[in-house]
Amino acid sequence: MKKIALIMDGWKRWFTFAWPAGILQRIRQTGEEVSLYIFNSSGGWSCDEEYNTGEYNIYRLPNLREFDGIILDLNNIGYPKVREDVIRRAKESGVPVISIAKEIEDFYYVGINNEKAMRVMIEHLYEKHGCKKYWFVMGPEDNYENVKRMAALKAFMDEKQLIYSESDFYCESFEYQCGVNGFEKLLETHDALPQAVICANDNIAVGVCEAAAAHGYQVPKDFCVTGFDNFDKAAYYVPRISTISHIRENVGVACADLFLRIWKGEKPDRFYYTDTEGVFWDSCGCTAAEVPDQSAYLKGQIMYGIETAKFEDEVFSLEYELLKCNTVREMMYCIPQCIPSLKCDAMYLILDSHMDVYKEQVKLHRSLSFFDEDDFHVEGYPKCMQVKFAYKNGRMLDTDRMEIEGIFPFFEPHKGGTDFLFLPMHFRNRTVGYFVIENAVYLMEKQYLFQVVKTLTNAMENLHKKEKLEYMNQVLSDLYVKDSMTGLYNRMGYQKLSVSYFSIMKEKKVPVLVMFIDLDRLKYINDTYGHEYGDFAIVSIAKAMLKYCAADAIAARTGGDEFIVLEGAKDEMTGRLLAQKIRAELSEVQEKMQLPFQLSASIGAVVAQPGEENVLGSYIKQAEKLMYEEKAEKKVSRDN
């Protein structure tokens, strides 16, 4: 099975679905055993730099050496460091790499010939309509396609010896507002109108037309306007925009064909251009032979509006249901229940295990250490991650304690033509995991996914904050009932919990082990070796108790060197085994640390049977008496 990695960025929050659609179309036509892995971010659209950092981290998830081919669509990424990192890793992979619509050294290029296509447009204006004076409203100055289109325009002007200057060019973005701003700026800085305004794409062209109309100008009566890309707005705007048409899916088809040739041992040309065609309509004064079907388009827009409204209702339902969820797994199950529009073969949620830290610490009530949010990755992903949720072919899979390292072999399809879409999950710049959808191109085309993933991420972050708050409240509570040095209950905590614990166990008819522990010769250790050694000895006993006592036991430090344990027990043997484990642990610590004194404890233990009428205090006294008897025996042994 061959594997292709496609790394791409959304156009703001929209998926560029044409590339994967074309790739998969070709793979399925040929029947080749090839699968597609799409790593998509929506970085760059937000003003929150940390949010965008979290989005772009998805590119660091794959080990690119594990693929047979890599496709890069980097034109929408506005962060040079992100682009450079992706390019570096692709070069280091050692596998063939295709760059879509952007020339990158050592990589194959697939896309349109921007210079040739833009020359078709200006030649038409010059030869057909006699235009010699132009304004140019273009995209970002550093965008590869924009640079190529501008170069073609200037080369033609130079060739025809037409007069122009840099002040005739306005560069900003590929958005509608660029057209509005560009026309306003050029109108302000020029004494006369041009014969034509050439725009970098159809969005900009519509913006120019609208701005011109606001000033009382008519297109094409006062000047021509042209666009590029042949979006729907070109055909259905009034006036219809003259543009350059190209089938974007053909870029994906060409990428698949290129890899199939390379894998067969062929050596294709580095540059592979897909076809373009000039479409000349009303905005330059032409009359197209083929008139777009307005009624069909209008019907499509109406149905799209209906589908969108239905989807938005489903998202509102999802948001409401997510509020009721107490676990991430419950949240994930809400997605297929609330949004039947999500038609896919499977979906998975892979999370950093740190997501469960607060919850586990709240359960244990044992750690006073604060969890550091910095433990979440900002660059890259943890080596081992948890499969928190898996939903395949209409049913949830059991993922309890399931972990994966990397994406293979877990996401290894059984047949060619399968695609996996990987989407980042993050709390601003802190990466918490990723969301995977199998066979998701339909969803990319419908543009449903961003809103669903954002809603899920917000709900997960709110749940995480809730768990964090519970943990912090537990920590604050522990400050009153826990001993700061050892993490055991202090005297106040023991007094608060012990009697009720004893009563509950008695009602349940469960025997209770009552153990009294005293550190041997603490005063001697402090006086001879210093309080640092004394504190170390106290902490060592506490660690042994926490290690071997039951999770629900009451383990307390009730005095400087005195400790009490209450836990469920079957018989007297329970106490003897626990005492042996604690003593053995202390002996091991002494030997490992080569302590200059004997690290030991005297222990007394009794078991309170459910049918007995004695109160807890009487058992404590019995255990204490046994502890002192052992301590006395040790003193006699030392004196002898």
**Segment 350-362 mean pLDDT:** 71
Beta pairing class for 2-9 and 34-41: parallel
Question: Are 333 and 411 within one domain?
Answer: yes
Lowest mean pLDDT among 207-221, 225-239, 287-301, 547-561: 287-301
Q: Provide the CATH number for the domain around residue 126.
A: 3.40.50.2300
Question: Are 606 and 506 within one domain?
Answer: yes
**Segment 71-100 mean pLDDT:** 95
What pLDDT, on the 0 to 100 scale, is given for residue 366?
A: 45
Which band of pLDDT confidence, cut at 50, 70 and 90, is reported for residue 419? very high
In a domain, 307, yes or no: no
Q: Provide the CATH number for the domain around residue 523.
A: 3.30.70.270
**Segment 337-364 mean pLDDT:** 76
Measured at the CA of 366, the angle between CA 364 and CA 369, to 5 degrees, comes to 115
Question: Three-class SS of residue 377?
Answer: strand
Lowest mean pLDDT among 100-104, 164-168, 483-487, 634-638: 634-638
Lowest mean pLDDT among 191-195, 241-245, 306-310: 306-310
In a domain, 440, yes or no: yes
Contact present, 257 and 266 (Cβ < 8 Å): no
Longest dimension (CA), the chain: 120
Closest CA to 147 of 169, 165, 127, 164: 169
In a domain, 107, yes or no: no
What pLDDT, on the 0 to 100 scale, is given for residue 365?
A: 46
For the chain, the domain total comes to 3
Question: Residues for the chain: how many in total?
Answer: 640
Closest CA to 7 of 67, 55, 74: 74
- Give the end of a domain, one of 479, 506, 534: 479
Task: State the average pLDDT for the chain.
Answer: 90
What pLDDT, on the 0 to 100 scale, is given for residue 369?
A: 45
Kindly list the distances between the CA atom of residue 355 and the CA atoms of 3, 263, 427, 470, in Å, as whole numbers in the listed order: 31, 42, 11, 14
- Give the end of a domain, one of 462, 479, 496: 479
If you compute the radius of gyration of the chain from its CA atoms, what whole number of angstroms results?
36
Q: Which two tokens stand for residue 466?
A: 């809730």
Question: Are 342 and 363 within one domain?
Answer: yes
**Segment 106-110 mean pLDDT:** 96
Domain holding 558, by residue range, is 482-639
HEC readout, 60-91: HCCCHHHCCEEEEECCCCCCHHHHHHHHHHHH
* 393 φ, ψ (degrees, to nearest 5): 50, 40
Question: Are 494 and 566 within one domain?
Answer: yes
Kindly list the distances between the CA atom of residue 232 and the CA atoms of 113, 213, 235, 244, in Å, as whole numbers in the listed order: 21, 21, 5, 12
Which band of pLDDT confidence, cut at 50, 70 and 90, is reported for residue 362? low
Question: How far is the C-alpha of 179 from the C-alpha of 190, rounded, in Å?
Answer: 16
Beta pairing class for 108-112 and 271-274: parallel
In a domain, 306, yes or no: no
Residue 613 has pLDDT above 70, yes or no: yes
What pLDDT, on the 0 to 100 scale, is given for residue 476?
A: 64
DSSP annotation of 275: P
Question: Are 91 and 196 within one domain?
Answer: no
Instruction: Determine if the peptide bond prior to 413 is cis (ω within 30°).
Output: no
Residue 370 has pLDDT above 50, yes or no: no
In a domain, 301, yes or no: no
Q: Give Cβ neighbours of residue 427 (< 8 Å, ≥ 6 apart).
A: 54, 376, 457, 461, 464
Closest CA to 121 of 183, 36, 63, 202: 202
Q: Which residues on adjacent β-strands are paired with residue 38? A: 6, 421
Kindly list the distances between the CA atom of residue 427 and the CA atoms of 39, 354, 355, 411, 458, in Å, as whole numbers in the listed order: 18, 13, 11, 25, 8
| Burial of 167 (C-beta count, 10 Å sphere; 0-12/13-18/19+) | exposed
Residue 276 has pLDDT above 70, yes or no: yes
In a domain, 102, yes or no: no
Query: One-letter amino acid identity for 233?
Result: K
Please spell the DSSP secondary structure of 388-447, one letter per residue: EEEEETTEE---TT-EEESSTTTT--SSTT-EEEEEEEEETTEEEEEEEEES-HHHHHHT
pLDDT tens digit sequence for 381-399 = 999 999 998 988 888 888 8
Residue 150 has pLDDT above 90, yes or no: yes
pLDDT tens digit sequence for 373-385 = 557 889 999 999 9
pLDDT tens digit sequence for 526-570 = 999 999 999 999 999 999 999 999 988 999 999 999 999 999 997
Question: Are 466 and 520 within one domain?
Answer: no
In a domain, 314, yes or no: no
Question: How far is the C-alpha of 388 from the C-alpha of 273, rounded, in Å?
Answer: 43
Question: Are 432 and 348 within one domain?
Answer: yes
In a domain, 224, yes or no: yes
Q: Which two tokens stand for residue 571?
A: 């018989």
Question: Are 488 and 634 within one domain?
Answer: yes
pTM for this prediction = 0.75
